[in-house]
Structure 1
Amino acid sequence: MSSYDIRKTALSVETVWHERGPRLEKPLLVGTTVAVVANPFAGRYEPDLMPFQASLRELGRELASALIAQLGGAERIEAYGKGIIIGEDGELEHGAVWHEAGGQGMRELLGQPKAVVPAAKTIGGPGTRLMVPIGHIHACYVRSHFGTAEMTLWDAPRRNEIAFGLVMATGGRPHARIGGLAASDISVHDGQR
């Protein structure tokens, strides 16, 4: 597999000013970008998914680049995640190719952060709502940045498609106050603390 067939893409940004507490000086931006791609393995078993995974690396970079630009630049990104919705004629493993391809696309453009990229995947049809987990890009124990972003398209994925998505945010939850490691206290830079 040397290419992929994109039917459509979407990019959306939520602007959050408060969560019933004081209005933020700068709003939290939470962005989601999705590409709906034909599933070349719909309806059949394919033993070797690695060429398809490799072909999606460029898609990961393209989606990450568009989302980073929409959110104001790489230096503003503090949290990330990825999501996959596989159409009914596919299998979860067809979507698992995105773990490497989508995650690496974000890491390359964000300066190689070490924290795990949270992910969710499911099988579903058009309009499926997937809540994608997000976490801090440099340390996975920063509780203030635990969150979710919704990934959905009204007409996708169709039975023979996969919706590959990336999520990024410019900060943590507004008014976070449950303790734990603060983003300002990240010290080890190994993705943990």
Structure 2
Amino acid sequence: MSLVNVRKVKLDVEESWHEGGPRQNEPLRVAVATAIVANPFAGKYEPNLLPFMAELRALGSDLAARLVVELGRGNVQAYGKGAIVGEDGELEHGAVWHEAGGWAMREALGDPKAIVPSAKTIGGVGTRLMVPLGHIQASYVRSHFGTCEVTVWDGPRRGEIAFALAMATGGRIHSRLGGLAASEIKGEDGLR
């Protein structure tokens, strides 16, 4: 029997044209795919979470594929991931998403170098989580430090987890605070 039992999947897509400055020629598109999954360990301590993490790779692949279809693989410049664990779970139940979700996005995007930023929390139905975004090839690209929101109106319930992946077609609109520019990425170590 599978440890991954999905109740629902939600796909959010946001388009931003400006932040008070000049209207952009193309919008910044940010997409978030979220799955509400039964927590097989709700209310109890499980010493070995690795089988759950391994099974979540398939869910990660599904969510990443949905995002790539929505945004176009060649258009994705930033990514992030997050988990909201229902009240009967523990943070470690959300941490299984670090490897499963991160691996899935790297696989879908052709193995980018930068770490996938992440956030997780414990919360009830309708909890909002701000997920950090960063450039897919170099973590020091300041213009691509951003956030996106993960929320599902009826989840996660006490015995569920919301697992989310996010991708964006660029950095912040009107970014002008210096740092490493995306055009200057060397791509050697995921940092610069």
TM-score range, shorter chain: over 0.9
Residue 46 of structure 2 is aligned to residue 46 of structure 1? yes
1:30–1:167 CA contact under 8 A, matched in 2: yes
Letter in 2 for 1:42: A
For residues 21-67 of structure 1, the C-alpha deviation after alignment (integer angstroms, 9 at most, x for no partner) is: 11111100011110000000000000000000000001000000001
Question: CA offset at residue 68 of structure 1?
Answer: 1.1
Superposition map of 1:64-79 within 5 A: 64-71=64-71, 73-79=72-78
Superposition map of 1:1-193 within 5 A: 2-71=2-71, 73-193=72-192
- State how far apart, in whole Å, the 2-side matches of 1:188 and 1:76 are: 17
Unaligned runs of 5+ in 1: none
2:3–2:40 CA contact under 8 A, matched in 1: no
- State how far apart, in whole Å, the 1-side matches of 2:21 and 2:60 are: 36
2:7–2:38 CA contact under 8 A, matched in 1: yes
Question: CA offset at residue 135 of structure 1?
Answer: 0.2
- State how far apart, in whole Å, the 1-side matches of 2:151 and 2:78 are: 19
Question: CA offset at residue 3 of structure 1?
Answer: 4.0
Letter in 1 for 2:180: L
For residues 80-137 of structure 1, the C-alpha deviation after alignment (integer angstroms, 9 at most, x for no partner) is: 0001000000000011100000000000010101101000000001110000000000
- State how far apart, in whole Å, the 2-side matches of 1:188 and 1:15 are: 28
- State how far apart, in whole Å, the 2-side matches of 1:175 and 1:95 are: 33
TM-score, normalisation: structure 2 = 0.98
1:67–1:168 CA contact under 8 A, matched in 2: yes
- State how far apart, in whole Å, the 2-side matches of 1:170 and 1:189 are: 22
- State how far apart, in whole Å, the 2-side matches of 1:188 and 1:164 are: 28
Q: Give 3-state SS (helix, strand or coil) of 1:56's partner.
A: helix
Q: Give 3-state SS (helix, strand or coil) of 2:63's partner.
A: helix
Letter in 2 for 1:176: S
For residues 134-176 of structure 1, the C-alpha deviation after alignment (integer angstroms, 9 at most, x for no partner) is: 0000000000000000000111000000000001100000110
Identity of aligned residues (%): 67
1:2–1:51 CA contact under 8 A, matched in 2: no
- How many aligned positions are there? 192
2:78–2:169 CA contact under 8 A, matched in 1: yes
TM-score, normalisation: structure 1 = 0.98
Q: Give 3-state SS (helix, strand or coil) of 1:61's partner.
A: helix
RMSD: 0.8
Letter in 2 for 1:57: R
Find runs of 4+ consecutive structure 1 residues off by over 6 angstroms: none
- State how far apart, in whole Å, the 2-side matches of 1:180 and 1:129 are: 30
- State how far apart, in whole Å, the 2-side matches of 1:189 and 1:33 are: 29
Unaligned runs of 5+ in 2: none
